[in-house]
Amino acid sequence: MAIVVTAKAGFTFRIMILSLFFMCLPFYSSAKINDRPIIGVLAQEVYSQKPNQTAYIAASYVKFLESAGARVVPVMINQPMEEYKKLFNSINGILYPGGGVSIISSGYERAAKIFYELAIEANSRGDYFPVWGTCLGFEQLMYLTSEKTILSQTNTSGVALPLNFTNEIKDSKMFKDFPAELIEDLATVALTENSHKWSLAVLTHNSNEELNMFYKVLSTNTDGKVEFVSTVEAYDYPIYGTQWHPEKNAFEWTSPYIPHSPSAIKTTFYLAQFFVSEARKNFHKFESEDEESKALIYNYNPVFTGPKSGFEQIYFFRFFTLDI
């Protein structure tokens, strides 16, 4: 009798396993991948403007995404809301680059806020739209999520550091495909380039409910005085941020503190690969091929600025300031 019960229970168990398997199956077999991902890179105001150079994008962010198989569309500042909504529905993700404009009031901030809110809204209804912030972009994300200016000054404007990983890295999305030896190098060798005067202190993050509930801290760093958050990923949204510059290792050469070792270069590509793979889960499309081709960054030529700037090449844009 006891044996029969066990057998029955075993049978039920097998049915459960089997139905779980079939329940999962449709997801795997129908998981579509976008093989033509297009990612927006946000422009920002040029510090000392010239008639035809009012906004810019450092070319290294474009190369970063292109290196993992994405095409790039520049997202201009000071555009009407309707233009941004249309563009949002045409691209598969957005990157907020580093730079030096205000995260409280600038064309960069206004566009970043619009795309952030559109992304939150889209993701909440199952339209997967990834967002990445690097350096200033990271700080912008922290401001958009917390709606507070809570950054602390740190002595980090031009220094390579190893990452102090938290336990959260074990089930992180960002680092899950990194080889173990690269994680080991990132944790012990100064591979991540920092160029920022402001940082999110770990204490501030932990005591701010919005940030604490929204972002998982994957790594921290210190300038010797302030321990600050250096890598985050959102718990419930495909939103990612690095206070450091993964794109510089492979593509920027003007500053002596940018690491270019094989592990540093791999770090660029593994993170590019990660973010582009996120964009491959989105299926927004331009209304026509013609519209797509007019929007792509290929319509612009980067300028060689290496000797006089922190960037080897820069895309400059000219825009008409709208009355907004």
Ligand X SMILES: *[C@@H]1O[C@H](CO)[C@@H](O)[C@H](O)[C@H]1NC(C)=O
Query: Under the rule (CB under 6 A), what is the footprint of ligand X?
Result: 51-52, 155, 159, 164, 220, 222
Judge whether 135 counts as a catalytic residue.
yes
**Minimum distance of ligand X from residue 169's CB (angstroms):** 12
If the CB atoms of residues 102 and 222 are measured against ligand X, the closer one turns out to be: 222
Residue 11's contacts (CB-CB under 8 Å, 6 or more residues apart) are none
CB of 80 to ligand X, least distance (A): 22
Q: How far is the CB of 52 from ligand X (least distance, A)?
A: 4
Spatial separation of the C-alpha atoms in residues 95 and 114, rounded to whole Å: 13
With contact defined as beta carbons under 8 Å apart, do 166 and 217 qualify? Answer: yes
Nearest partner of 73 among 118, 46, 43, 115, judged by Cα: 43
Name which of 108 and 228 has its Cβ closer to ligand X: 228
Least separation in angstroms between residue 222's CB and ligand X is 5
CA dist 137 and 194 (Å) reads 13
Q: How far is the CB of 155 from ligand X (least distance, A)?
A: 4
In angstroms, what is the minimal distance from the CB of 220 to ligand X? 5
Q: In Å, what is the CA distance from 57 to each residue of 86, 154, 295?
A: 21, 25, 15
Q: Which is nearer to ligand X, 26 or 51 (CB)?
A: 51
Closest CB to ligand X among 269 and 319? 319
| Type of residue numbered 119 | A
Q: Which is nearer to ligand X, 46 or 120 (CB)?
A: 46
- Specify the long-range contacts of residues 231-238, CB closer than 8 Å, at least 24 apart: 231/163, 231/174, 232/138, 232/141, 233/172, 233/173, 233/174, 236/123, 237/119, 237/120, 237/123, 237/131, 238/93, 238/123, 238/128, 238/129, 238/130, 238/131, 238/173, 238/278, 238/281
Told to judge if 196 belongs to the known catalytic residues of this protein, a careful annotator would answer no
Q: Considering beta carbons, is residue 51 or 262 the nearer one to ligand X?
A: 51
| Catalytic position from the list 135, 196, 205, 284 | 135
Residues labelled as active-site residues: 135, 245
